[in-house]
Amino acid sequence: MTRLRRVASLAMPALLASTCTFFTMAPPVATAAPCLGGTGSLGSSGSGQGINPIPWLNGSDGRLPELRGKTQAIAHITGPRSPNDTIGRFRVLGTDLGIMWDNGGGEILTAFGDTVGLSDNPLCGLVGDWRSNILLRSSDKDLTDGMGIDNSPVDLPNHSKEIIQSQKIPGVEQTVIPTTGISVGAGPAATQYINYMSVRSWGAPGEWDTNASGIAYSVDNGENWVTDPLTLRPNVPGTGAENFQMGSYVKHDGFVYAFGTPSGRSGDARLSRVKEADIRNLSLYEYWDGKAWVKANATVAAPVIPGPVSELSVQYNEYLGQFVAMYTDAGNSVVMRRSDHLESGWSEPEVLVSSRDVPELYGAYMHPWSKGSDLYFLATTWSDYNVMLLRTNLAD
């Protein structure tokens, strides 16, 4: 990883001197430049208590967790301790998730959930500048010491923009969160796709209600995004669409396979597929009913991975010669399953990071450029509300 010239510690005097009120779960204000409110991914993590992404001010030292066994924490990707200086370069003080895909042109695009920065608005306190989502780009192929960030779509100098807009109105649309991404095509002609969920409201820990899921696309490498209303799957019970509110894309044999889970963290994972060129045509999707593929009928989709499945990431692993599914389980541990086939045969879960070691870890998303026995993934810690890179040795 290329070490960047500045570090986020330049903000430390202001951080340590402040007595402002930090991140809370209060309702957001629907304005063009909103103060912090009940941001989505933090709410979905389920604490329900005030939190802020400044480790020195929330009782944490902000250091990487010290793990024993086959998984190690490598480096922070975002936040005050990240060598990427996301505060100075992109005004990203705290964020979560980190959903990665190969853009078909030599870069990894990474979509993040609700994002906050240092606020210029005195009415917002120190932490504000809420964006429902952002995108960062990386061409770093050496992940042994971290994942370097090259650039980001911006709306102001040094300010990552919200790529898919949300209304930020509780009970209507509180936020919009990316859940998976993929590219179709190669090079400059590639189109980028994000499947997102429109969150209506946050409930009890691990529970939330969505309005719908949908697809946004970009023809300029993620700089600008268009939401396609014809791809919306309203969260209506009995339609089958309720089981595809969150997703994980996998390209295989000319198809985009789209795993789906309901909103929240307790559902089963189901499976659909469509030809790559038809990804925005819901009428051409097929659904696995447990025995065969059935066209255009999401109600028949049978569970392929039993729940609870939380924030699923699936990809093919060359080293194992199998598909790998990664998610957090009911005990909040990061687990992995393997299978020769996407439709069936998934192994029993194997714990990669136990909640006993890191009780606040969530949102484990695999890096598409993992090589050999090293499986790299991004995950978020609740207390620091930032994303780090971890590595699991599959040979152990």
pLDDT in tens, 48-107: 334 456 554 555 667 899 998 999 999 999 999 999 999 999 999 999 999 999 999 999
Low-confidence ranges of the chain (pLDDT < 70): 1-61, 122-126
Let me know if 238 is exposed, middle or buried by CB neighbors in 10 A (0-12, 13-18, 19+).
exposed
Let me know if 196 is exposed, middle or buried by CB neighbors in 10 A (0-12, 13-18, 19+).
buried
With CA atoms as reference, report the closest residue to 286 among 238, 324, 325, 254: 254
**Paired sense of beta strands 322-328 and 154-156, if any:** unpaired
Residue 42 CA to its chain's centroid (Å): 12
Report yes or no: 395 and 112 within 8 Å, Cβ to Cβ.
Answer: no
C-alpha 50/C-alpha 64 separation (Å) is 22
Let me know if 142 is exposed, middle or buried by CB neighbors in 10 A (0-12, 13-18, 19+).
exposed
Report yes or no: 377 and 74 within 8 Å, Cβ to Cβ.
Answer: no
pTM assigned to the model:
0.89
Report yes or no: 95 and 387 within 8 Å, Cβ to Cβ.
Answer: yes
**pLDDT digit string (tens) for 249-273?**
999 999 999 999 999 999 999 999 9
DSSP for 75-122 reads EESSSTT-TT-HHHHH--SB--EEEEEE-SSS-EEEEE-SEEEE---G
pLDDT at 332: 92
C-alpha 58/C-alpha 52 separation (Å) is 7
